[in-house]
Structure formats: structure tokens, C-alpha cells
Amino acid sequence: MNNNKQYPERFIAALRCPNCGSSVQQGFQFDTLQCTHCGTTYFSLGEVPCLFPAGVHQKLIWQHQTASLQYMALQSLATLHESLSRYDLTDATRQRLTEIQTASKVNLDTIISLMQKRGINPIPDEQLSQMNPGDLSEYFDLLLRDWAWDSTTNANPENTAALERTLTEIEKLPQKPARILVLGAGAGRLSWDLHIRLQPEYTVALDANPLVLAAADELVHQRQTIAIGEFKNFPQIGFQHAHCWQLEPPQDTDNARSTWFPLGANVWQLPFARDSFDLIITPWFIDVNGGDVRDLIAIIYEKLAPGGHWLNSGPLLFTRHLPVQLKYTATEIKEFLSLAGFTLIEESIANTDYLRSPLEARFRQEQVWTFRAAKPEARQEAPIIAGALTAWLVMHHLPIPQNNYSSKDSHPLIDAILSLVDGNRSINDICYEVGPHLPQDIPVKDVVVTLFGQILSE
């Protein structure tokens, strides 16, 4: 990667190796996407740097996902071709199937082209085929919502509503943010619209999905039109069967894209130092990231500069795979914010249309919770929350205060855990240190939390 000069010095100084935490002074080489300190080699998706803990192995996963998508698409096209060869079709049926076939072919060609142009070839992996690495096209509709559906006469208002909802909160900030991070930026529309309006020093549009990253880069940085086909498997009376959209690059007369950076990364191991951003935005993200909201709060708190703000907007539609105890209500999340040290400044609730396609009679309406929370200039004492033994037992990133902790049970593991309490380490830190020494099937955090919970309850 040889485009180092387009990134501000402050951005490069804030970067960290997601594996070992090394800075550019300690061995993380952003220009070559290598870390000489831990030996990890990273890669780029075309011109989009990808800093995942797996390094170049993440590229193998994406190649397998691309191959799987290609296989399924070709199977679907073969089925359509066979259906069109039948003699018992009416003209109307043949036309509908032909339109779906055309849209499907456009999508396959576009996706494979987007990926191959960025070094991701459809190569299946036998080991990955035994696993479930995820669906490359999971967020395909976001491409259409972000860059197509508001270009029609009967425009979808979602992008405008999201921008206005976010700007309303940002305009109340004491000062304009200079360094903005958008987590789960998707196809990039909201982060781009905000970047154009706010003109910060730089905006980072971070996502883990290569297809939406590639599309955002193709439209904004490469200034290329993207052809995307849309069709509906369920008949919609009075609507088109299918449509081929031409996604056009957004206007950028002032070259704002030179400081708008799409980035491939994992939110749980963000490649940035502490205090790196003035504003972090999580649009439709806190419920779909697959982890514990408490851990997300800790990460955002760490990456925000003192006095920085977190702006969240979206529903609480947690994934079905998440355990029920992690599907928190707004009340619970506000308690976590307080325990972590955030000050909740403002919140609002609104109902809004979601993924309302011009080709669709059906659409979802979601309850959107928008809040703005501030990180204090200096850490304050955590409040007392009903039912919580202590803040650090609930928020696992907070340091465990030194004390004469002891357990009525004696075991080498218990002794090892208690010996790590030094007034600085947190539950997360202790789990990181003892985890490698335990069998993989043992839930380390549950063990540590249960131990301290029992000690505090005795």
C-alpha cells in the first residue's frame, strides 16, 4: 500500500496493530500494512486498508465467501434458464423470469468485478466450507438504500431522515468534531453525508463486510458507477418485478473524499489508540454487532478523547443468536453508560421506515433510539446502581481496586486470578492473562466474574 501521504499525520499516529497494539513508532508499518513487532501481515481491499486480527487470513475468508456467493448465484441462474426453456409459459411469466434473470446476472457480474478489482478472487476453501463464515451479500439491500432508492421520483426518505436525526444532535455539541469514527458504516452513505456537511479533519467509515466496503470505495473514491439489480421473489401488485439500478458517485467538487477513509476492521479489536476520536457514531449497530453492549461501551469510551461524544441511533433488534441476558433494554444500557463514566446528554425515540424499496409494497417500521453521551474530561467515581455489587463487576473494563480479596475455596486457578489484582487490571485484563492457560471450552469471563461475585457476596 503506497498511498500513505493522503492520510493526516494525526490519523497515522493514532493507528495501532490490532494484534499487539504497536504504534507506527513501535513497528506497525501502515505503508506496507505489516507489523514488525508481532509479525502480522495485513492487506488492502484495493485501496481500502484492512486491519483485522486475522491479518491476511481474513482475505482467504472473503475469497471463500465470494466463491460461495458465485456458486449459489450460478445455481440460481441455471434454475432460471431451465425454467425459461419450458413450453408451458405465458408471455407474462416469461417476461417476469427474464427480468429476474437479467437482474441476477447483473448482480453476479457486479459483485465478482468489485471483489476481483480489489484482489479478492472467488476461491473456495475446504476447511471454511465446514464452518459458517457468513454471507457476503448479507447487507446487499444497504447498497440500494444508501445509493439508489432516493434517486427516484418517489424517493425513499431514509437517508435524509438519518442525516437530519444525526445532525440535530451534532449541532448541539460544544465544538465541531475534527476526528469522526463511524462504526458499522455499511455502504457509507451516512458517513459520507456527514463528512460533506461537517468538513472535519477526517472521517473513518469502518465496517467488516468487504462488499459494502468495496462499493463505498468504488463510488466515492474511484468515482465509478455501479450496476445493481433488484427483484422480488414475492409478487407485488402494481410494482415492477425487477429493476436494474445505476448507482452514481456522489458529488464532490471540493475533493472531500481525500479525508474520508473507508477501513476494514473488527470493532472488538479496533486498530486505534486511546483518545483517538472526538465523535464516534453507531448507526443501527449496537444490536447487530454480535457481542455484549457493555464491551462495546468500554471500547467506545476508550477510543473517545476526553470531552468527546458518542452518538447512537437505531433499534434494539438483537440477533437471535445472542443469549437473552445480553438483549438489554434502553434502561439497562443507560445504567451501563453511567457505570462506565459516560454522561447521558440527550435521548429521543422515533418510529421510522426501514429498507422501504420503490419495488416493494411491504416495508418495516422500526423504533429508533437516538442518544448522545459525553466522556468526561477526567474519570469520575462510578454511581451506585440498584442490584449492582460494584461498578467493575458489571463493566468488565473498569479497574478492580486493590483489596484483600480471598475465597473460602482453595484452588491454584483462584489463587492465580486473585494474584493479578493490582488496582489497574480489570476483569477483561485478568481474562486475557489467564485465558490461554485454560481449556478452550471453559468460559473464562464467567469463571472470573463468578469468583469475584462470590467473594463480594460473602
Q: How large is the average pLDDT for residues 410-430?
A: 93
Per DSSP, the residues of 215-261 read HHIIIIIS---EEEEEE-SS--TTS-SEEEEEEPPPP-TT-GGGGEE
Contact between 313 and 366 under an 8 Å Cβ cutoff? The reply is: no
- Interatomic CA distance for residues 165 and 59, integer angstroms: 36
CB under 8 A, 24+ apart: contacts of 401-410: 405/452, 405/455, 406/455, 407/451, 407/454, 407/455, 408/458
First CA to last CA distance, the chain? 57
Among candidates 375, 393, 397, which has minimal Cα distance to 384? Answer: 393
Among candidates 211, 208, 205, which has minimal Cα distance to 261? Answer: 205
- Interatomic CA distance for residues 25 and 356, integer angstroms: 48
Residues constituting the chain: 458
Residue 5's pLDDT band, with cuts at 50, 70 and 90, is very low
pLDDT higher than threshold 70 for residue 159: yes
Q: Which of 5-9, 43-47, 310-314, 319-323 has the lowest mean pLDDT?
A: 5-9
Q: CA 107: distance to chain centroid?
A: 23
* Predicted pLDDT at 335: 95
pLDDT higher than threshold 60 for residue 2: no
Q: How large is the average pLDDT for residues 141-163?
A: 91
pLDDT higher than threshold 90 for residue 1: no
For 180-229, write each residue's pLDDT tens digit.
Answer: 999 999 999 999 999 999 999 999 999 999 999 999 999 999 999 999 99
Backbone phi and psi for residue 399, each to the nearest 5 degrees, phi listed first: -65, 140
- 44, β-bridge pairs: 49
Q: How large is the average pLDDT for residues 417-431?
A: 94
pLDDT higher than threshold 90 for residue 21: yes
Contact between 352 and 156 under an 8 Å Cβ cutoff? The reply is: no
- Interatomic CA distance for residues 91 and 354, integer angstroms: 34
Indicate the DSSP class of residue 372: E
* Predicted pLDDT at 382: 67
* Predicted pLDDT at 440: 84
All three cell numbers of 279, joined, read 465523535
pLDDT higher than threshold 60 for residue 4: no
Place of cell 455499511: 186
Q: What is the mean pLDDT of the chain?
A: 93
- Interatomic CA distance for residues 349 and 206, integer angstroms: 25
- Interatomic CA distance for residues 3 and 117, integer angstroms: 17
Is 125 exposed, middle or buried (CB count within 10 Å of its CB: 0-12, 13-18, 19+)? middle
* Predicted pLDDT at 3: 44
* Predicted pLDDT at 232: 86
- Interatomic CA distance for residues 262 and 3, integer angstroms: 13
- 50, β-bridge pairs: 43, 264
- Interatomic CA distance for residues 277 and 204, integer angstroms: 10
Indicate the DSSP class of residue 16: -
Residue 329's pLDDT band, with cuts at 50, 70 and 90, is very high
Per DSSP, the residues of 294-310 read HHHHHHHHHHEEEEEEE
pLDDT higher than threshold 70 for residue 78: yes
Residue 387's pLDDT band, with cuts at 50, 70 and 90, is low
- Interatomic CA distance for residues 207 and 261, integer angstroms: 11
* Predicted pLDDT at 149: 95
Higher-confidence residue of 381 and 121: namely 121
Contact between 7 and 261 under an 8 Å Cβ cutoff? The reply is: yes
Contact between 368 and 353 under an 8 Å Cβ cutoff? The reply is: no
Backbone phi and psi for residue 314, each to the nearest 5 degrees, phi listed first: 160, 175
Q: Which of 22-26, 144-148, 155-159 has the lowest mean pLDDT?
A: 155-159
- Interatomic CA distance for residues 202 and 181, integer angstroms: 9
| pTM score | 0.94
Residue 76's pLDDT band, with cuts at 50, 70 and 90, is very high
- 206, β-bridge pairs: 183, 263
- Interatomic CA distance for residues 450 and 439, integer angstroms: 17
- Interatomic CA distance for residues 30 and 40, integer angstroms: 12
Indicate the DSSP class of residue 43: E
Higher-confidence residue of 409 and 84: namely 84
Contact between 290 and 192 under an 8 Å Cβ cutoff? The reply is: no
Q: Which of 171-180, 338-347, 356-365, 444-453 has the lowest mean pLDDT?
A: 356-365
Higher-confidence residue of 241 and 98: namely 98
C-alpha triplet 423, 427, 432: angle, nearest 5°: 110
